[in-house]
Structure 1
């Protein structure tokens, strides 16, 4: 792997590093509250998984870039432009969740991100099948984080001292 490959692997980490620099004091209690989820990972596990996924996705983007001839040009515009948009949304989710502390807005961004990653995989598949397959762990992780975020959002709407709405049975 050339120097460009290393740059592609490291680039996705730029956003999380900046977010961590500004929010590291607030991250340890990210999933705590009156009704903490038993399946909520510690923030260090979250960071470890996110680091691995960003590295894999960065490598996948390198494969696409390399298969399209490298450099800059129109053939790269859609596959890597879509990747750049989903990477930006991914970083935005971190800011919204850890800095703004708004799980509802973070959930909307996560759902948008899920669609963008699926679109990216579909665009990448004809270019490089391995690159498209390398996005599958990211989609799995987005499913987990979306479920966590949904529960945190729901619990923020109905605090523990208020009764939860019950479903009506017909």
Structure 2
């Protein structure tokens, strides 16, 4: 018998990632050639574009299962679950917001500031998960590591690329 709450908890965080991926995919890859994203100065440690989809699917699934474990350990949305699951929801919304800031607004400074704030809330989420379920907190650790890595990429791009007003879209060329 399927555990629908667990499955839903795993799928939920992926929904925002998939929606962002579908909406902004044309800015990341096109058949017509390079996009503005391809023209950015990126560090040598920037992974190939194909890595991001699988990496985020794994990370979203892991954090989703962590939230399910917390929900179960707290016997549902009880008073004990309020802080950890509120922090979880906040960091998830912040996570989903980064992509529109970076790819939609092309505001690299704001994207960097946002990912630093996101990292703080994700860390607080993980700490709150430790108080409820240590394995749930452990499931958040790869996400925290990736956020550190992604923050370094975001900082590099912010510091080494033109301001938003100087960035040209493919349609503006």
Same fold (TM over 0.5): yes
Among 35, 45, 49, the residue aligned to 1:43? 49
| Consecutive unaligned residues in structure 2, runs of 5 or more | 30-34, 164-173
Among 54, 64, 71, the residue aligned to 2:60? 54
What is the Cα-based RMSD across aligned positions, in Å?
1.7
- Going from structure 1 to structure 2, the CA distance change for 1:50 and 1:83 (only over 3 Å counts) comes to same
* Residues 30, 98 of structure 1: 8 Å contact kept: no
1:167 aligns to what? none
Distance apart, 1:73 and its partner CA: 3.1
1:162 aligns to what? none
| Consecutive unaligned residues in structure 1, runs of 5 or more | 159-170
Distance apart, 1:80 and its partner CA: 0.5
2:7 aligns to what? 6
Q: Which TM-score applies when normalising by structure 1?
A: 0.86
Q: Which TM-score applies when normalising by structure 2?
A: 0.84
Greater share of residues in helix: 2
- Written as runs of structure 1 = structure 2, the 5 A alignment for 1:120-159 is 120-157=125-162
Say yes or no: does 1:96 pair with 2:130: no
Distance apart, 1:157 and its partner CA: 4.6
Task: Count how many residue pairs are aligned between Structure 1 and Structure 2.
Answer: 157
How far, CA to CA, are the matches of 1:144 and 1:109 in structure 2?
A: 14
How far, CA to CA, are the matches of 1:30 and 1:144 in structure 2?
A: 22
Say yes or no: does 1:16 pair with 2:6: no
How far, CA to CA, are the matches of 2:116 and 2:36 in structure 1?
A: 20
Higher relative CO (Cα under 8 Å, sequence separation at least 6) belongs to: 2
**Deviation string, structure 1 residues 82-109 (Cα, Å, up to 9, x no partner):** 1000000000011111222222111111
- Going from structure 1 to structure 2, the CA distance change for 1:75 and 1:44 (only over 3 Å counts) comes to same
